[in-house]
Structure formats: structure tokens, C-alpha cells
Copies of this chain bind each other. A is one copy, B any other.
């Protein structure tokens, strides 16, 4: 985490939105214009800032990201949209760039009047703290979190065309994490030189295999966003062809960073006591395998069984069965850890005590072999604990 990401600066401060005094305003800024790629929530109700960001993302360019935590600026109507506009204008003023090169994000409670003045004043203070170093990055990563218990960051260095390329990301999660982006924010910065088209493609594919494959409570927020900015400052020969081997080196690194940031979100989920990795193998398509994983990892009955360390695999197979994917029950195998509990649709009762032992670990591995094809997918989820209910039944009151 020590190397700087050339040409990028970061800051995070408390602007008074969080009464606790914790950081709540973050800035991420590139000295040069960037190619960007972004994915937004699929919720029909989208937060006010995202209405603006969707316009700003259209040309694939950008230079700064402004984030506040403590208020989601969602279901806030005209007042909220004007607040988001004010944040973008303030960002453009502070950095001397165009408003359309500023992205605005908010996270926190939904449906409360947006404190526009507090946020824009906080941005001024934040702007004075900008720095390229690891401490500045951590300050920003701390300012974007809400109920998370720790800031989430991951960095990877790769060599492209003889140059060192730095890829750095931060994320926040906790409640409402699910397929199609939970209340999840992820911001990545990279000094690689890559064409806009290739960046878009690599990012979309990677988000589908990382952030979209995690589930904590099955809800999708109004604010979810993943965004990457690449400024070309590493000085590599620009990557502009899908057949360039460097494209694949970059994409692999991007996958590693996004997967790590996604797994950190699950591990820090509200009231999570177990981390569960789901694999569906030998499916007809990756899409079908993903769909099954998302349904299982979202099942309250599976999740309470995991919390109870109960090898009640019938709940897993019942959840798989309602994923909307054709399954041949008589061909299906199921494993908890490496203990097989279902073979060609026949239960292996005698293996249950052994499977139960593996559930005492804090990480659990579940594999379903559909024996239908040769595609596969992997995803990550949590259990459903007493702590989750305690926490989420007392969030605003």
C-alpha cells in the first residue's frame, strides 16, 4: 500500500454529518483527465447524485470523485438533486475542472433532507488536505464508510510494457449488500494508459464476477456505484486492443483487486459471523451458475443454518431449485467443504457428522456440481446471525 498511484490525490475529513466526529467527506482527484468506467445500481429508485453521475459518465471521461457519508441523498426529491448539483459545482470550482468531470456519491440513511451547505463547506476543508500518500488514501477510505467496522482498501502493482502500474481501490459495504450492487461503493484508481472502450469492457466483466457476486442481506440500495479512473501516468504504451497480452494482465489484476474489495465487504457485513464461498460447477452457462449462487447466498434458511453450523443441505438444494435455472436433480452433487452429501441426487446420510465438523470453521466452502455442462461461477456470502437482527432492528431509532 506504500507506492503512490501516480497523478492521484486523496483526502477525507469530518464535515459534521456524522455526529460521532468520524470522517464523512472524501475527495479523489487526478491531476490529468482520466478514462473512466462506472456501474450503477439497478434499483428503480435511484439516489439523486446518481441521476447526475449517469449523465457525467456518458462520455467515459472524468477527473474527480466527491463522496459524503451520513446521508444517502435518496428519496429527497428536488432539494436533494439540487444538493447533488451543488456538490458537483463545488468540486469543479475547487479543482478548476468541468462539472461533468466530477462524480458525486452519497451513502447513509435514505429519505432525510440533504445537508447541502454542510457538505460543500466540508469539501472546502477536505480540499486543503489532499495528498498522494497512503495516509491520505486511508483518510478517504475512512470517510466513505457508514456502519462498516474498518476501511477497505487493496492495492496491486503490475508490470506493463516495462513500467510499474499501480492499481488501488477502496470500498464500503455493510447492510443492503446483494447482487446488482448493495449499498456498496467502490472507487478504483489506476495510472495505466488504456483506451476507454477496453476499460469499460474489463470493468463491466470484473464487477459482474466480484461485487455482483456477494450477498449479505439480499437488498439492493438506491446508491450503489463502482467507478474506476485511469489517468495514463504510468507511461506504458497505451493498451488499445483486446488481443494485447497487457490487456489480460490488467484485467487479471483488476479482478484480483475487485474480488479482494468485495470479500472484505462480506467479511465486515453487519452481524456476520461466517464467510461462505459458493461454487457452482459444470453448469450450462456461467450466467446460470451465478444465478444459482445468488439465490442460495441470499436464502435466510441457508444463512441461519450456517450460523447454527447445521449441515442441513436440503435447504441449500431447495434454494438452488428456486433460482429459475433448469436442474436435473438426479445428476446433482453437493459438498460442504470436501465432504460429499449428495451424489447423483441420492443423499449420503453417513457423511453428515463429518460435514458438520467443517462448519465449525469461520470460512465455509459449499460446492454444487450440476453435471450439465462445463461452465462455473464463484460467489461469497454471509450467515444470518442474531447479531444481524439486533443490529438492523436498531439502525435509525
- Which A residues form the contact surface with B (CB < 8 A)? 42-46, 72, 74-79, 109-113, 175-176, 180, 217-222, 298-301, 304-305, 307-315, 317-323, 325-327, 329-330, 341-342, 344-347, 349, 356, 384-386, 388-390, 392-397
The interface residues of chain B lying within 8 Å CB-to-CB of A397 are 308-312, 356
* B300, B314, B344: the one within 8 Å of A109 (CB): B314
* B220, B301, B310, B314: the one within 8 Å of A72 (CB): B314
In the bound complex, how far is the Cα of B175 from the Cα of A219, in angstroms? Answer: 20
Which of A113, A221, A299, A308: most chain B Cβ within 10 A? A308
Whether B111 and A347, one on each chain, are in contact in the complex, defined by CB atoms closer than 8 angstroms, is yes
A221 to chain B, nearest CB (A): 6
Say what secondary structure dominates the interface of chain A.
loop
The interface residues of chain B lying within 8 Å CB-to-CB of A311 are 396-397
Contact A320:B45 (CB < 8 A) given known A75-B314, A301-B175: yes
A216 to chain B, nearest CB (A): 9
Whether B111 and A342, one on each chain, are in contact in the complex, defined by CB atoms closer than 8 angstroms, is yes
* B112, B314, B388: the one within 8 Å of A349 (CB): B112
In the bound complex, how far is the Cα of B75 from the Cα of A376, in angstroms? Answer: 23
Contact A110:B176 (CB < 8 A) given known A44-B325, A389-B385: no
Whether B180 and A219, one on each chain, are in contact in the complex, defined by CB atoms closer than 8 angstroms, is no
Contact A321:B395 (CB < 8 A) given known A77-B346, A219-B299: no
In the bound complex, how far is the Cα of B43 from the Cα of A323, in angstroms? Answer: 8
| Copies in the assembly, this chain | 2
Which of A220, A221, A384, A396: most chain B Cβ within 10 A? A396
Whether B386 and A390, one on each chain, are in contact in the complex, defined by CB atoms closer than 8 angstroms, is yes
Whether B43 and A393, one on each chain, are in contact in the complex, defined by CB atoms closer than 8 angstroms, is no
Whether A45 and B317, one on each chain, are in contact in the complex, defined by CB atoms closer than 8 angstroms, is yes
In the complex formed, the residue of B with least CB distance to A394 is: B308
* B77, B112, B219, B344: the one within 8 Å of A301 (CB): B219
In the bound complex, how far is the Cα of B176 from the Cα of A341, in angstroms? Answer: 21
Whether B44 and A322, one on each chain, are in contact in the complex, defined by CB atoms closer than 8 angstroms, is yes
14 additional A-B pairs beyond A46-B321, A109-B314, A300-B392, beta carbons within 8 Å, are A42-B322, A74-B314, A77-B344, A77-B345, A110-B314, A111-B342, A111-B347, A217-B300, A220-B322, A222-B317, A307-B389, A307-B393, A310-B396, A356-B397
A128 to chain B, nearest CB (A): 33
Can you list 8 A-B pairs, Cβ within 8 angstroms, ordered by A? A44-B323, A44-B325, A45-B317, A45-B327, A78-B346, A175-B301, A307-B389, A312-B395
In the bound complex, how far is the Cα of B182 from the Cα of A322, in angstroms? Answer: 11
The interface residues of chain B lying within 8 Å CB-to-CB of A394 are 308, 310
Whether B389 and A75, one on each chain, are in contact in the complex, defined by CB atoms closer than 8 angstroms, is no
Contact A300:B77 (CB < 8 A) given known A305-B392, A320-B45: no
In the bound complex, how far is the Cα of B325 from the Cα of A315, in angstroms? Answer: 29
The interface residues of chain B lying within 8 Å CB-to-CB of A180 are 322
In the bound complex, how far is the Cα of B94 from the Cα of A368, in angstroms? Answer: 42
The interface residues of chain B lying within 8 Å CB-to-CB of A72 are 314
In the complex formed, the residue of B with least CB distance to A321 is: B45
The interface residues of chain B lying within 8 Å CB-to-CB of A317 are 45, 75, 110-111, 222
A54 to chain B, nearest CB (A): 14
Which of A46, A300, A310, A386: most chain B Cβ within 10 A? A300
In the complex formed, the residue of B with least CB distance to A320 is: B45
Whether A396 and B74, one on each chain, are in contact in the complex, defined by CB atoms closer than 8 angstroms, is no
Q: State the 6 A-B residue pairs at the shortest beta-carbon distance, nearest first.
A: A110-B314, A308-B393, A45-B321, A304-B392, A43-B321, A44-B321
